[in-house]
Chains A and B, each alone.
Chain A
């Protein structure tokens, strides 16, 4: 087991290097805009642009640039400096990480909690109005793009522009450390919108998985030995939850992708919006930093899920 974990972590690091290299190459080979020109201001002198190139190291070969960058990342945890604002990328991300983490964790809790419980209720009440209604709305939520859903809920429920002024709207984000109540209410709409499609997918998956499990022989055995139906259901849920947990590792990527849109729509100062603005500004250093961070989250989440799987299912043995 320990050997397995170490191998997985080493592979994870290798994967991060590959991700680094790919983003590095993408944004340099594919011309999205010359950062030196962007920084030089209106009608720049060619000499001035050259000077900026030299300072940013853009005049060196791509390999030299990459080597420089990797050295910084792995030896000093230094992600470079924003081409745009000259701030350190590390501190740019660190400033915005709490907002993104509170968005992602809150959404994940709603996502998994609502998804699984709606799935269970649908599975034990198959073909009832309840089941059809929740599966129907699940289909709707899966199909709705997040930015669209975000705008709709703002239009309906935000306390500034909404038809029903219930929840704080866009730009109301308050850090948790400043005012927990305000933080909580300001995050409700973003959480809901970010969780919606994931919860819908989970509800459908959980429903299918549980219906299948409840037809298994061992569930019949559980009934035959006289367990109360509640406990029988618990055994069914226990068995059908494993494939759902496995999916969580993959879904974390979807969640982070969604965070970019949600932070933009709700004007939350998080890493997602940072990466959005950095893409708009061709701010390579920041793009690379945020992509690297997201990749790290996904890789870590997958390792955690795989290890958790061994504890959830005694038949799984890693060696």
Chain B
């Protein structure tokens, strides 16, 4: 900044100087931000999403303060990033953390209020006669008009069905009523909540049930089968069986153990976290999978790095002709979408029809994906094919960044090529590449798409209490446990948090080690 200028006139930013376009750009942008913000606030108000509403209000106020205030200069740069951090990181992490302590999943999909509504709505017993229905408004009150044995009847929520005078009947349907309005379909649609909830008693006797409609044009007789007692929080059926709300499991449960569906989400404490360790039938497979996950991640990094490095060193040598062409070819697998490549490999490795067995091995029936050990080998080989171009790229880049003087100094000191490689090139290379190797380890530790697409975790263990196979890594095993049959979001969240802890600790240890590598610089 020009110090002299600031003494004479205070510096005016682009976004404040009325004579410059920057100000107007800012004005338009902020107007848009406010417009969208208020739109979102109104929309979430209408949808009764109070959490989102609160977040939008707070964010909008802060945004306006930050960009119209003179003081908050650093915040002007940080604010958009912080908003995205909150939405895409903190919210997701918080949500996962919260779900991990609940039983959210199949059968416990919604709130208790929604569960009660659904239980009551679906418990009604319906008769098998349907009457053509006319919805009538009389004295501001909605009612149903039907024809029974040629006699027009009318009733409202409070008055049971009774003969109706002054009605015009066409066939089996009332078409007009004196002193009252017959609602047309469009009016019914407008007031559908009231019409759908209306129950008109058939008679003074409650056991006769009441008329209800679902479509506005026909009515059926219905009898409530469950009674909800709000004070006691119980549901009682017509036989007198009482279902009590059990907020520990999130269901209405009768004394004989019968459960009403659906249930609702409740907190279950640490149950989801304990699952892997307390269920002895599961923990054996868990340990097997844990071992294979480490082996897979470590071997994947080592093999891809070794191949990538060797190729990088070779093709970094100026004596190799056509290096550009070779390099482009090597990058090709990297340009393929990984899951697509995995599917193609799966086809090629099929025991009976695959290209490898049929064409390359002359019809040998080798179970590349159906034998446990071979499947593991196949996964490592496919991952090598998928992963070496990345290592090749970063190694080539890192090699070119190593000053040529160092190699020359090595030659002057009389070191041979192998000694130069291991004592000069490799340590220099590791400084820049080691963090990427750790990242690669973390990525492969959770390389779900490769396993899922290539073997689906199989071959499966015979007789296992859930679908788990010899090539399942932790994340694909979590998927098998919590999604393959019953959806158990709570369990899945808890298990992925456990995986995160493992990956986090290893990465932390790894990065601490790489700092030591830098000391040689």
A interacts with B: no
Question: Which residues of chain A have a CB within 8 Å of any CB of chain B?
Answer: none
Question: Which residues of chain B have a CB within 8 Å of any CB of chain A?
Answer: none
